[in-house]
Chains A and B, each alone.
Chain A
Amino acid sequence: MIERMSRGMSRGVVLAGASALVLAVSACGDSATAPGGESEVISRVTLTLTPSAGGAALSSFIDDSDGNGPTAPGAQVGALALARGVTYTGTVKFENRLVTPAEDITAEVQKEANEHRVFYTVTNAGVTITTTDVDGQNRPLGVRFSKVVTPTASGLGTVRVLLCHYGNVAKVGTATSCTGDTDISLTFNFTIAP
């Protein structure tokens, strides 16, 4: 009889302990969705071209309302109407405008220059882009560049801006295309005024 009683009690105690655990766990298992840390979201890429000889700067940007999300980037805002025979000093700006205040990711890229490089691919034969800045090991970075439009250039063209991130592989200064992870790949249209 005594044995049966103590058995019943121990069973009850263990069951109570188990249910207490259930409560404790369901309390801490509150299924909140709260993003932690900070991701490198870029929602706007801006190209700014300033004629070396002076004059009004050209500026154009592309927005992506959800950054890495599935919605496609929007249309290019601001035309890049280049003039023949002009050399431009160019800069690229990466921003996250999905947060307030907006973040300038360009500063991150410059700070981590050893891990980044911006590649430019131009489709018009009369236009060339050369990067003018370097990282800490004298390898090209590409946030600043010079854009040369030959006197005979004409027509339309595109420039693809590709931000390459060297996370897993070494950055090679002489590379002509990205061998790391692509963080940005956007194409801007331009026209060459006669």
Chain B
Amino acid sequence: MLSSLLPRIRRLTARSLLAVALAPIGAVLAAQTTPHGTERHIHGIVEDDATGRPLANATITVQAAPRSRQTTPLMFSTRSDDKGRFDFRDLPAEVVRLRVRVLGFTPHEERVDLIDADRLITVHLTVATTVLQEVAVRADTLAERLGRVAATSTLDAAALSATRGQTLGETIKNLPGVAVIQFGPSIAKPVIRGLNSQRVLVMNAGLRQEDQQWGTEHAPNIDSFEASSVTVVRGAATVLYGADALGGVVRVDHAPVPDSGGTHGDIALNTFSNSRQGALSMSAQGADLVLPGLGTTGYRVRVTSRVAGNGGAPDYYLSNTGFRELNGSVALGVTRSWGTADVLLSRFGTELGVLKQAHVGNADDLQRAMTTPPTDSSFTYGIDRPSQQVSHTTLRTRFTFAAPKASELELVYGLQYNHRREFDNHGPLRFRNEAAFNLKLFSNSLDLRWTHARWRGLKGTIGTSGLAQGNQTLGKAFLIPGYDLWQGAVYAQEDLALGRLSLNAGLRGDAISQTTIAFADQGIRSAAGTRTWRDFSGSFGAAYLLADGLDIALRVARAWRPPTVNERYAQGVHHGTAQYELGNAALNAERSQGVEATLRYTRPSFNLEAATYRNTIAGFMYLQPGEPVQTIRGAFPGFRYSQTDARLRGVELSGNWSPHMRVQLRLNGSAVRGLDRVNGGPLFDMPADRVSLTTRVQGRRPSVGAWFVGAGTQMVRQQDGVPEGTVYTLPTAGYALMQLEAGSTGARVLGQRLDVSLSVNNALDTRFRDYLSRYRLFVNDAGRDVVFRVTMPF
């Protein structure tokens, strides 16, 4: 007993010593070990701590302790792959010494007990400053960072665990350059560099998420517990991801299906006081499943449920803003000498309420709802009309074929079925249970990608991608017509490392064909028609290492996207704004030209990243206020989809400073200005300027693990750039919110590892209305929220 306890304590001590040398850049090493019969495996991921990016080509050696003084120690060595992964199987020992070396980082060494080891070991390392001066040595590291020529932020597992249980939008909203359009606690839509919805692509588990993303009140249908990391690419990233990633990409990555080890998993429980929300997620995974015909198979299953009642503003509850979510997924995968194959089946299902005040009959009703103080609704978990019921089913099959010299061929087939139903109180009672809007969207996608080996300093990816999509419109009311969409693309992106200089270039050609189906019912008419668009997008970037720890990156990108079906054919009242929105079938594609510069300064206890960009969009599609629309229900402010020339400019700043080894200060800020170059006015839906500052005091103790206590503030300036003619001209004042947090990862309670945290959002119960909150015409945003999170790996 004592002997099995001793190595653990010793290791923890070693880790706490390492934590003393804590630095903004380091490597996160996640090692996972499992006893499996007499064979012992160890595998993990090497990551850059500051960015969360996996570090490829790290040298990992495992030294098995000699069984007796006479025998020499056994050595095993490998290199981490492109995803930073490494793997040792069938080690003939119970205790090994693990060494990890990555160019540019301090080597890491630790003793790992394979019998009774932590499943996830996180170690912070100091950056090796002296190594950085050697350009030749640095080249690969720089090439690695060149993926970040486009400004990128990643939330790794540790950062995600601090926001678990919330919507995807809430999870990323504090990253630089990111904001959310919010409909209460249940709907949060990411905004990147001032652009949202169909201009922001969400990639989930390697597939473009196709979930009627054009609607601002259509939140990404993704279970945030599935994410092992979330990466936000700011600025046009169309080459690898597809036309329409004009504003940026939110990439939700799932952990790979395990290829070794026995059954393990985790249970996560979150509670939120504000909406009395509970979230429970359970997963189990392993690689000890033996299936007939397949052999040893890795697997993962996850079930998540989230239930919330009405959200609470400081003085009242927000009527009908609860939600119920039930998600599940099953993944199976095999890893063989030729590569990997895996299948993922997941289903996301939610039912959510929409604020009652936000559902209005006509413009007079809206005016009344806006001027009437919110009625003091009581708390309930019940969901009443108006409401949404959405389910999203994904089937993904993926093969990777390993070729020599780390080149890889990847084939991904994705099938997505999105079923969205929206209910309201209109219509005769006997049809009240029929959805007003009932949309079924089927998407098939096939992607083939070849990541080739480095050839004369050149490394990159060449790929082709196809999408076949069909939409059915089945509801009582008309929103968008049914349509078929075909899309095909070829692309290539290459990196070239030339000493201090690294270059990155990408080119992509897309052809998109959209066929709408005629609709005619009770006066509403929508025409049939087919249109096809072809165009290319491209980007060119360069990163240059100016001095030790200081590099600058410049990037130009051209992107385009065709009009979506709602922009071409929308016809009806947008509830919540009483806007009568009319599509324009004649819209042409919009084209953006962007230029951005990023400066990064990295020191052991200090790093700073500043980015600035300018994005001009010709033919920018937007809703233009026009003549009021008269209907039998009364008058509505009329809005027609039109095109203008737009320009977006902005700056983003993020920094990290450790004045003392136990203290960490973080700063994030962004500002964006959108200009309609035709009328000289501001663009709609631009996030207000924001700065967030957080302080953390942290440390590590064997009994409580890696603990932290922190406080932060988010300050948002008044949005004074509001376009004329929308109901959203109602000004919103600036505000400041305070957050508090405390917690620990790796605490041990009765021999069980626990990650625990307690945080308080809007700690001072401040009354505020964010400019991007779509309920701001009616009610205040959410008040104080005490969040308790516990995760228990097993």
* Interfacial residues, chain A to chain B (CB-CB below 8 A): 7, 10-11, 14, 18, 21-22, 25-26, 28-43, 45, 62, 64-73, 96, 98-99, 105, 108, 111-112, 115, 162, 165, 167-169, 178-186
Report Cα–Cα, A36/B365, bound state, in Å: 27
Q: Tally chain B residues at the interface, Cβ within 8 Å.
A: 77
Which of chain B's residues have a CB closer than 8 A to the CB of A26? 442, 444, 468, 470
28 contacts between A and B (CB under 8 A): A11-B399, A14-B399, A26-B468, A31-B472, A35-B474, A35-B478, A36-B438, A37-B475, A37-B476, A38-B427, A39-B426, A39-B427, A39-B522, A40-B428, A41-B522, A42-B632, A43-B632, A65-B523, A68-B572, A69-B523, A69-B525, A70-B582, A70-B631, A178-B368, A179-B368, A180-B361, A182-B633, A185-B632
Beta-carbon contact of A67 and B632 below 8 Å: yes
* Interfacial residues, chain B to chain A (CB-CB below 8 A): 293-294, 320, 336, 338, 341, 356-357, 359-362, 364-365, 368, 372, 375, 384-386, 395, 397, 399, 413, 415, 417, 424-429, 431, 434-436, 438, 440, 442, 444, 468-478, 481-484, 517-519, 521-526, 571-573, 580, 582, 629-635, 638
User: Given the known A-B contacts A21-B395, A112-B428, are A29 and B521 also in contact in the complex, defined by CB atoms under 8 Å?
Assistant: no
CB of A154, distance to nearest CB on chain B (Å): 29
Report Cα–Cα, A181/B424, bound state, in Å: 11
Beyond A14-B397, A25-B442, A37-B476, 5 additional contacts (C-beta under 8 Å) are: A10-B293, A18-B397, A115-B429, A184-B634, A185-B635
Question: Which one, A34, A38, A111, contacts B431 given CB within 8 A?
Answer: A38
Beta-carbon contact of A185 and B634 below 8 Å: yes
User: Given the known A-B contacts A38-B427, A167-B424, are A186 and B471 also in contact in the complex, defined by CB atoms under 8 Å?
Assistant: no
Report Cα–Cα, A185/B361, bound state, in Å: 10
Q: List 4 A-B pairs, minimum CB-CB distance, nearest first.
A: A167-B425, A37-B434, A66-B523, A185-B634
Report Cα–Cα, A184/B632, bound state, in Å: 6
Report Cα–Cα, A64/B631, bound state, in Å: 7
Beta-carbon contact of B482 and A68 below 8 Å: no
Question: Which one, A33, A37, A72, contacts B472 given CB within 8 A?
Answer: A33
Beta-carbon contact of A40 and B362 below 8 Å: no
User: Given the known A-B contacts A21-B415, A32-B472, are A37 and B634 also in contact in the complex, defined by CB atoms under 8 Å?
Assistant: no
Chain B residue nearest to A18 (CB atoms) is: B413
Which of chain B's residues have a CB closer than 8 A to the CB of A66? 522-525
Report Cα–Cα, A68/B362, bound state, in Å: 11
Report Cα–Cα, A167/B525, bound state, in Å: 27
Question: Which one, B415, B431, B525, contacts A37 given CB within 8 A?
Answer: B431
Report Cα–Cα, A179/B368, bound state, in Å: 8
Which of chain B's residues have a CB closer than 8 A to the CB of A22? 413, 415, 444, 468
Beta-carbon contact of A33 and B473 below 8 Å: yes
Beta-carbon contact of A25 and B522 below 8 Å: no
Beta-carbon contact of B415 and A36 below 8 Å: no
Report Cα–Cα, A40/B633, bound state, in Å: 11
Beta-carbon contact of A69 and B476 below 8 Å: no
Beta-carbon contact of A72 and B631 below 8 Å: yes
Report Cα–Cα, A167/B356, bound state, in Å: 9
